[in-house]
Amino acid sequence: MKIKKIIYTERMCGACIALKKDLDRQGVRYEERSAGRLEFPEDEIDREAFIEQIVMKGGDPKSITLPIEFNFNLKEKEKEKKEREGKVVENDSEEG
């Protein structure tokens, strides 16, 4: 599974800084984005993070607790895109 780790942070957030240091120490690759993108999504990743972190949890975008970690499944999204475009997609899962 191809996962892209996204973290939503703010500049003066101590917990955000601590998370970034921890991920760096562990050698985890991530993309940092402004928490404001959850309120005003700029792409599909932001929209999905907003739905998962805010809507599904019944929260208010103005009162979220940062940082937010979001794992975006790139492979699944690529498959969905191809299916929407009408391309044949083989099932790559192992069935036993």
pLDDT confidence of residue 81: 63
pLDDT confidence of residue 58: 73
pLDDT confidence of residue 61: 67
pLDDT confidence of residue 52: 86
pTM over 0.85: no
> What's the rounded mean pLDDT across residues 25-51?
93
- CATH architecture of the domain covering 3-84: 3-Layer(aba) Sandwich (3.40)
Average model confidence (pLDDT) across the chain: 82
Q: How many CB atoms lie within 10 A of CB 52?
A: 14
Helix (H) or strand (E) run with residue 69 in it:
strand 68-73
